[in-house]
Structure 1
Amino acid sequence: MKLTDRKLLILDDNPDILQLVKESLTIAGFTHLTTAHTKKEALDLLRTDQFDLAILDIMLPDGSGFEVLRHIRQHSMMPALFLSAVSDIEKQYQGFELGADDYIVKPFRPKELELRILSILKRSYPPQEELVQLEGCQIDFERAVVLKEEEEISLTAKEFSLLRVLYNHKNKIVTFDTLLTKVWGEQYEGYENTLMAHIRKIRQKIEINPSKPTHLLTVKGLGYQLRVD
């Protein structure tokens, strides 16, 4: 999903400010913008819909943006930015203490708002890892599963760690010592047989024929190699 496809909630009791924010973000490419004029409207929207970021005014006719952020933080860590005419530094501190990601004082430059929103979204929603395509399956590192013939096969923590190291060095030989050190730590002596057992289990999950592997290969006397096209 593109950052500009994220769903934004914009809360402000001033219709002119709402229009300015909505128009400037639309020009910037944002496609899912929802507005609210009051605390009640915002809370109703938050109860019935899912948003990826909230832009909150502080002074509202029926409460404050601080109260809205308190409600958000009871349920999620969705990023939030205050856009307010209140320039009091203590109020800004209060906003950050409640869990705000940024605070912009009105009047503001639309380009600055756009860039700060994009920066927050990049931090909050990093790009998901692509699925690793093998001959008979896909490895989904995001969810620690192997997708094989419409079946999801979970990876254990050690299997995940081993595959992660092997994939980071795909198509290269990773020595036994390197794998043992990265997965079991410096004091890995005695885990050599455990490593071999985990490799067998990984092959059972990713290979079409585990006894004749085509992706997770043993390089005799050296280590293992994960072959990925």
Structure 2
Amino acid sequence: MRILAVDDDLHMLQFVAGELRQHGYEVISAENGEQALARLEQQTVDLAIVDVMMPGIDGFELTERIHTDYDIPVILLTARHHIEDKERGFLAGSDDYLVKPFESKELLFRVKAILRRYDHPANNTLTAGSLTIDLKSYELRSPNGLSFIPLKEFELLALLASKPRHVFTRDAIIESVWGLDFQGDEQTINVHIKRLRTRLEQFAPDVKIVTVRGVGYKLEADS
């Protein structure tokens, strides 16, 4: 699991990142909101831990943008105890709230709880436009009927559909679909993307895989 940690207090940032890495998480660090958004443009992240009081883009605004653009869970960190700040954080889209100072065990417990919740959604389907992806039966459904596709194509499509409009880098796609020990080349992705586009044109033409030049791919659906 990859976690984005954002805090302008370098001691706190190092503490959070160190504890997470010690327990097996990959951590990307950012010292402010602008850096955090740049990191999110470059890499896929499973969860963000965001400090509230930061110059420029503060934690509330950053949380709202993460919630809107990336749809990943957010834990807010703050030195404030006011209920109004907690309310503002949850309204911005945060999933949890930790008041400084806190013990590392509490942070790790909350991280595990949120990731477990997101890893086991209430249902086993993803939807994008007219397309429904059944993660349990490996079926694709649309007004045009029912379809089964090769496993790697299905996994690639499900990955893109898990975060619509989010740009997945080619490296992130290879890591998620083929694994870190993949010995092939990028042509493999090109072939699978081409096949998926052909299938979608026939089966769910309102759903498209868009190339973001020099970065990767994203899934979009006509509203």
Pairwise TM-score range, normalised by the shorter structure: 0.5 to 0.7
Runs of 4+ in 1 over 6 A off after TM superposition: 148-153
| TM-score for both structures, normalised by structure 2 | 0.56
Of all paired residues, the percent bearing the same amino acid is 34
Q: 1:44 aligns with which of 16, 38, 41?
A: 38
1:113 counterpart = 2:107: yes
**C-alpha RMSD of matched pairs (Å):** 2.7
Aligned residue number for residue 53 of structure 2: 59
Aligned residue number for residue 4 of structure 2: 9
Which runs of 5 or more structure 2 residues have no equivalent in the other structure?
A: 125-133, 141-146, 155-223
Aligned residue number for residue 28 of structure 1: 23
Task: Please tell me whether Structure 1 or Structure 2 has the larger radius of gyration of its CA atoms.
Answer: 1
1:122 counterpart = 2:116: yes
Cα pair distance change 1:150/1:63, threshold 3 Å: closer
**Counterpart amino acid of residue 7 in structure 1:** R
Which residues of 2 match residues 140-219 of structure 1 at below 5 A? 141=136, 143-144=138-139
Cα pair distance change 1:142/1:108, threshold 3 Å: farther
Write the distance in 1 (CA, Å) between the matches of 2:11 and 2:102: 13
Aligned residue number for residue 65 of structure 2: 71
Q: Aligned with 1:63: secondary structure?
A: coil
Which runs of 5 or more structure 1 residues have no equivalent in the other structure?
A: 1-5, 130-138, 154-229
Number of residue-to-residue matches in the alignment: 138
CA-to-aligned-CA distance 1:83-124 (integer Å, 9 cap, x gap) = 111221100111111111100000000010001000000001
Aligned residue number for residue 207 of structure 2: none
* Worse-superposed segment, 49-58 or 70-79: 70-79
Q: Aligned with 2:102: secondary structure?
A: coil
Do 2:139 and 2:148's aligned partners in 1 also have CA atoms closer than 8 Å? no
Q: Aligned with 2:68: secondary structure?
A: helix
